Amino acid sequence: VSTFDRFARNYNEGHEKAVRATGYSPAFFHEYKVLEVAARLEREGFASRGFKLLNYGCGVGECDRFLRRHLPAARILGVDVSAESIAVARESNQDLPDLSYCHLDGSSVPSDGKFEVAFIANVLHHVRRDLRPGVLASIRDTLAPGGLLFVFELNPYNPGTQWIAYQNDYKFDKDASLLRPGLTTRLLADTGFVPEAPRHHIFFPGQLSRLRGLEKHMEKLPLGAHYSVVARVP
């Protein structure tokens, strides 16, 4: 039984509470990530052709509504080790087209061919350190050559993020530990990906959201609440 099985039915409520002090809603955090991915894929020319996207560790499927909305050309598969989370995701998103789910029960990710894109958001810090290379290797194996992986993680250099993770993630998941951006990049490189430099996101709380326009100029500053790394399969 996965740690997240116990929280699947009230995951959203817990998430809402956890991020309340930031002045942003959980939906805000899901959507900004998907918009980052969509902007990059647009530049790569994916918007105009069909492609397959793997959402690894999709949880209860909260990002999937936004993936569906902002990436209309994608066929999406969400996978997770938590069977209960997958059940909730299936229920909540049953009305969305070209979106399916699969519980990972030790077997490999099912696919009728390779994925062009993979997305893994706030998952790695819940994976035991010694298992992280295996998780990344399994994602690499499902991606086609030239495929892109988008990793989003919480930034341990941001005191607000540390505080929220300490209050929440660390309490219910004894294996949780935040990954420094350099560690994520190194793990990706060690697994055969070609990672780009991390980009840093979310510097201002919701109460100062009018300053958000500045954030795109701050991406190199390693103090944002979150960061992302784009990595390519050679």
63 near 35, Cβ under 8 Å? no
| Residue 188 binding ligand SAM, by CB under 6 A | no
- Count of positions on this chain that bind ligand SAM (CB under 6 A): 18
Angle subtended by helix axes 132-142 and 181-190, to nearest 10: 60
Site string for ligand SAM, 114-153 (x = CB under 6 A): -------xxx--xx-------x------------------
Phi-psi region of 207 (alpha: psi -120 to 50; beta: other; left: phi over 0): alpha
Other C-beta atoms lying within 10 Å of the C-beta of residue 190: 12
Quote the CA–CA distance of 205 and 225 in Å, as a whole number.
9
Contact string 48-67 vs ligand SAM (x = CB under 6 A):
---------xxx--xx----
State yes or no: residue 85 binds ligand SAM (CB under 6 A): yes
Question: Which residue's CB is nearer to ligand SAM, number 18 or number 48?
Answer: 18
Cβ distance to ligand SAM smaller for residue 121 or 217: 121
Of 76, 52, 57, residue with least CA distance to 66: 76
What is the contact surface with ligand SAM in residues (CB under 6 A)? Answer: 2, 4, 57-59, 62-63, 80-82, 85, 104, 121-123, 126-127, 135
